Copies of this chain bind each other. A is one copy, B any other.
Amino acid sequence: MPRVTSADVARESGVSRTTVSYVLNGRADVVLTDATRKRVLETAARLGYTPSAPARALRSGRSDLVLCVLPDWTVGPAIDTLVDHLTTALADHGLSLLVHIRRGARPLSHLWGAVTPCAVVVLSPVGADDARAMRQAGIPVVGTALDEASEPDVFAVPQASIGAVQAEHLVERGHRVLAYAAPLDDRLGAFAVRRLAGVRDACARHGLPTPPLAAVDLDAEAAAGVVGAWHAHGVTAVVAYNDEVALAVLAGARAQGLDVPGDLAVIGVDDLPAARLAAPALTTVWQAIDAQAGYLAAALLAALGLAEQTPTRPDDVFHVVPRAST
């Protein structure tokens, strides 16, 4: 079953390929009779004509694909939501989002060279040279940053600030000796390091001791060891890297017979469904993923000239959700 081409549509409609192209691309500047337009449209639909994307891309040097590059680790449900929103927002403008999970070896340049996307969304720390190369090739790149960013095409959720609000919340509750529960997975390092720095800065600002750091396995027994040691050293509150780590700390405290938040307060990040359902319910940091996705989508459309408005940065990007664990 050979592919249906615009030539087929032209032949069946009794017009030239030029006319077919004009009609199908809805060119208002070209004068065509309504009857012709209608006939071509109907023929195309009847034959099930789909323009060849490769041919189009070859011709224009640009496809209607948006490449979304993710890091090779699972960042959690937030990423899923973000991708979900982006997909919808772009689909409204005829763009298809294609997600690519970045695996170690293969260079990114190879991929975008191969896909010829019209834009790239980078949700993964990407080499500055890769970003530069894409921009030089005229491909808009929008993305997220882990630190403050001023460029309009980068949306920053400063990870240090997340650590800071976690620590501030505990300090407000009267805690003076905090500890930081880091994830075991090295690949989360880029996030964890920044959040930890935010926690340390906050503690320093309040004249509190530098919080000790421990990697906590997602296992009650392992966590119990860490939690027991912290408690013995006077730690009364734990800032956890995320909700999963926080749940491990909770399990560790339980195994040690410690009362939460009486003996030990715990705060996470992500607001997983499991956080609300934990015993006790976990205080956490909620992130406005929808707003972030909206901003990225708007920035992308603006960069592509598909939307007039420049995006406005959402203000409430994240905040603490106080629950029973603090």
- Over the window 56-77 of chain A, the binary record of Cβ atoms lying under 8 Å from chain B Cβ atoms (1 yes, 0 no) is 1110010111000000101001
Question: Which B residues are in CB contact (< 8 Å) with A114?
Answer: 50-51, 53, 63-65, 96
Chain B nearest CB, measured from A100 CB (Å): 6
Chain B nearest CB, measured from A217 CB (Å): 10
Chain B nearest CB, measured from A71 CB (Å): 11
Chain B nearest CB, measured from A64 CB (Å): 7
Bound complex: CA of A109 vs CA of B84, how far in Å?
20
Q: Is there contact, CB below 8 Å, between B96 and A99?
A: no
**10 A-B Cβ contacts within 8 A?**
A74-B84, A96-B106, A96-B115, A97-B101, A99-B101, A218-B273, A219-B277, A220-B277, A244-B273, A248-B277
Instruction: Check: A136 CB closer than 8 A to any chain B CB.
Output: yes
- Please pick, from B109, B244, B281, the residue contacting A220 in the complex, using a CB distance under 8 A: B281
Question: Which B residues are in CB contact (< 8 Å) with A65?
Answer: 114-115
Q: Is there contact, CB below 8 Å, between A101 and B115?
A: no
7 smallest A-B Cβ distances: which pairs?
A50-B113, A54-B57, A274-B274, A98-B98, A99-B99, A53-B114, A54-B58
Q: Is there contact, CB below 8 Å, between B277 and A247?
A: yes
Bound complex: CA of A278 vs CA of B281, how far in Å?
11
Question: Which B residues are in CB contact (< 8 Å) with A91?
Answer: 103, 105-106
Chain B nearest CB, measured from A266 CB (Å): 12
Bound complex: CA of A81 vs CA of B52, how far in Å?
32
Interface size, A (range): 35 or more
Instruction: Check: A88 CB closer than 8 A to any chain B CB.
Output: yes
Q: Is there contact, CB below 8 Å, between B74 and A115?
A: no
Instruction: Check: A55 CB closer than 8 A to any chain B CB.
Output: yes
Bound complex: CA of A220 vs CA of B72, how far in Å?
34
- Given A74-B77, A83-B101, CB of A244 within 8 Å of CB of B274: yes
Q: Is there contact, CB below 8 Å, between B101 and A87?
A: yes
- Over the window 80-92 of chain A, the binary record of Cβ atoms lying under 8 Å from chain B Cβ atoms (1 yes, 0 no) is 1101100110010
Q: Is there contact, CB below 8 Å, between A50 and B110?
A: yes
Bound complex: CA of A105 vs CA of B94, how far in Å?
12
Instruction: Check: A251 CB closer than 8 A to any chain B CB.
Output: yes
Question: Which B residues are in CB contact (< 8 Å) with A55?
Answer: 54, 58
Question: Which B residues are in CB contact (< 8 Å) with A250?
Answer: 277
Instruction: Check: A7 CB closer than 8 A to any chain B CB.
Output: no
Bound complex: CA of A251 vs CA of B91, how far in Å?
39
Q: Is there contact, CB below 8 Å, between B276 and A219?
A: yes
Bound complex: CA of A276 vs CA of B279, how far in Å?
13
Instruction: Check: A226 CB closer than 8 A to any chain B CB.
Output: no
- Chain B: CB-nearest residue to A272: B274
- Please pick, from B88, B99, B136, the residue contacting A100 in the complex, using a CB distance under 8 A: B99
- Chain B: CB-nearest residue to A63: B54
Chain B nearest CB, measured from A304 CB (Å): 17
Chain B nearest CB, measured from A50 CB (Å): 3
Chain B nearest CB, measured from A310 CB (Å): 26
Bound complex: CA of A63 vs CA of B136, how far in Å?
25
